[in-house]
Structure 1
Amino acid sequence: MKIAVSAAGKTIVNLLDMRFGRCEYFQIHDTEGGEIKVLENQGKNASGGAGISASNQLIDENIDVIITGNLGPNAFKIIEKSGVKAYKCDGIVIAEAIEKYKKGELEEIKMSGPAHHGAH
């Protein structure tokens, strides 16, 4: 299983970034092989459509799960349509967020957060 986490940094001791489309990095954790792949978020500096860009980038990585703070309407639609499950988590250390997911302690994102327009 591949778990993507919106991240403020490149290691598991960095904090989860509550922003999805504008996070700095995505960490992709392969639970079977134990590998961690770090991607710079292609959407973070977009003038618009950051969530769309970020969603497509992760779908291209064949992920199964996303852990983030929230998803805007466009990102939510893409993620939901792709069959990827998304879960809400607070800005805690990434290793802890993954453990919470494995224990079934995270809430599935069933609806989008508010829309954001342009760079912030």
Structure 2
Amino acid sequence: MKVAVTSKGVLLSSEVDPRFGRAPYIVIVDTETMEFEAVDNSANVNAFQGAGIKAATMVSDKGAAVLMTGYCGPKAFTTLEAAGVKVVSDVTGTVRDAVNAFKEGAVTYSSAPNKEAHW
């Protein structure tokens, strides 16, 4: 299974970025092989609006079944939900820590966004 983790860097040892839409990278990890791809999200970092929706679309397009992040706003959450991508919020540590927690079943899926909308 593929999971997407918001990240401050391009490695499994990189720290999880708490922001979803504006994280510099989103690391897509195959939980069976631990092979990964770091996707550059810099186009969304300084976007005026729509960063979360664009990042959510990219996560879905990359085939991730789960997004692991710190905070996910309502528009991004709705987009992910519509694409069938489950969200795990309040994630900290490294990308590897997050994936290991997922593999151990030590995560709780979010039923709602945990960040207010940006107006």
Q: Common fold, TM-score beyond 0.5? A: yes
Question: Are the equivalent residues in 1 in contact too, given 2:53–2:75 (CA < 8 A)?
Answer: yes
Instruction: For 1:44-59, list aligned pairs within 5 A.
Output: 44-59=45-60
Please name the residue that 2:118 is paired with: 116
Instruction: For 1:71-86, list aligned pairs within 5 A.
Output: 71-86=72-87
Please name the residue that 1:60 is paired with: 61
Specify every segment of 5 or more residues in structure 2 that has no aligned partner in the other structure, as ranges.
Answer: none
- Normalised by the length of structure 2, the TM-score is 0.91
Amino acid at match of 2:29: H
Instruction: For 1:35-46, list aligned pairs within 5 A.
Output: 35-41=35-41, 42-46=43-47
Specify every segment of 5 or more residues in structure 1 that has no aligned partner in the other structure, as ranges.
Answer: none
Please name the residue that 2:7 is paired with: 7
Amino acid at match of 1:76: F
Question: Are the equivalent residues in 2 in contact too, given 1:89–1:97 (CA < 8 A)?
Answer: no
- Normalised by the length of structure 1, the TM-score is 0.90
Q: Do structure 1's residue 19 and structure 2's residue 9 form an aligned pair?
A: no
Question: Are the equivalent residues in 1 in contact too, given 2:21–2:55 (CA < 8 A)?
Answer: yes
Question: Are the equivalent residues in 2 in contact too, given 1:89–1:106 (CA < 8 A)?
Answer: no
Residues 64-113 of structure 1: CA distance to partner in whole angstroms, max 9, x if unpaired? 11100121110000001111111123331111111111112122111112
CA distance in 1, matches of 2:34, 2:88: 20
* Equivalent residue pairs, number: 117
Q: Displacement of 1:58 after TM fit?
A: 1.0
Q: Displacement of 1:2 after TM fit?
A: 0.6
SS in 2 for 1:116: coil
Q: Matched residues, percent identical?
A: 35
Please name the residue that 2:70 is paired with: 69
CA distance in 1, matches of 2:35, 2:99: 14
Q: Displacement of 1:10 after TM fit?
A: 0.5
